[in-house]
Amino acid sequence: MTLVEDIVVKVLGHREYLSSLEEMRSFTSARNDDTPDELWIVEHPPVYTLGQGAAVPKIANGIPLVQSDRGGEITYHGPGQAVIYTLVDLARRGIKVKPFVHLLEQSVIDFLGANVITGERKSGMPGVYVGGAKIAALGIRVRRGRAYHGVALNVDMDLSPFSAIDPCGFPGLAVTQMKDLGFKDSLEETAKKLAGHIIRNLEDA
């Protein structure tokens, strides 16, 4: 049995979506049975990303639309959103795909709970919601038992680009963010705290 090493957390700052995608693919292709898992904390410039099989919408606000290889539908990334890419060897940890998605959702719910905010799941609608509004989206891709992509938490951002799409494929879905719930930590501190919950849940899995 391969020893599961400590998880490496990297704060990478502002990154273009496509370059981040290529870096995730390269990391996943190059890793071996001894490569430690990593969490990458990034913030993207405005971009819409399409999951595999998602319908291509007509968008006229000038924000680029990029095809991704993750699961799920369309979503928006932009400044003020904490994105954590979870480069995790699921096979080595003995975690199946659906339990991993549940683990990431639970990590967000745990983080919100630690800040006296009640987060919840919605049946058939991956992600985490507060009062019916989506606060965190997630989507992953698994290649040879190794996951990449991850979770995006709305912290302090312009939410208006969400109105040009059906977030995650659901027309009229409301979105919210940490700032509107009275949370004042910086994006980096928020992401680091969420990463801590992901690590604890992975260690307990």
Residue 149 forms beta bridges with which residues? 140
In which band, very low, low, confident or very high, does the pLDDT at 4 lie, cut at 50, 70 and 90? low
Query: Which amino acid is located at 126 in the chain?
Result: P
- Mean local confidence (pLDDT), 194-202: 97
What pLDDT sits at residue 40? 98
Tokens 């913030």 locate to 43
Rounded CA separation 74/55 (Å) = 8
**Sheet with 74-77, edge to edge strand ranges:** 65-67, 47-50, 74-77
Q: How many helices (H) and strands (E) does the chain have?
A: 4, 10
What pLDDT sits at residue 53? 78
DSSP 163: G
Of 168, 175, 178, 187, which one is the catalytic site residue? Answer: 168
Q: For residue 139, count CB atoms less than 10 angstroms from its CB and return exposed for 0-12, middle for 13-18, buried for 19 or more.
A: buried
DSSP 52: T
168 is catalytic: yes
- Domains, in order of start, for the chain: 8-203 (3.30.930.10)
Rounded CA separation 175/189 (Å) = 21
> Mind listing the pLDDT tens digit for each residue in 154-193?
999 999 999 998 877 777 889 999 999 999 999 999 999 9
What pLDDT sits at residue 23? 98
> Mind listing the pLDDT tens digit for each residue in 14-53?
999 999 999 999 999 999 999 999 999 999 999 999 988 7
State yes or no: pLDDT of 143 exceeds 80: yes
**CA separation (Å) from 188 to 11, 62, 90, 155, 164?**
8, 27, 26, 10, 27
DSSP reduced 3-state for 77: strand
Token pair recorded at residue 11: 């704060």
- Mean local confidence (pLDDT), 95-104: 97
State yes or no: pLDDT of 82 exceeds 80: yes
Between 26 and 60, name the one with better pLDDT.
26
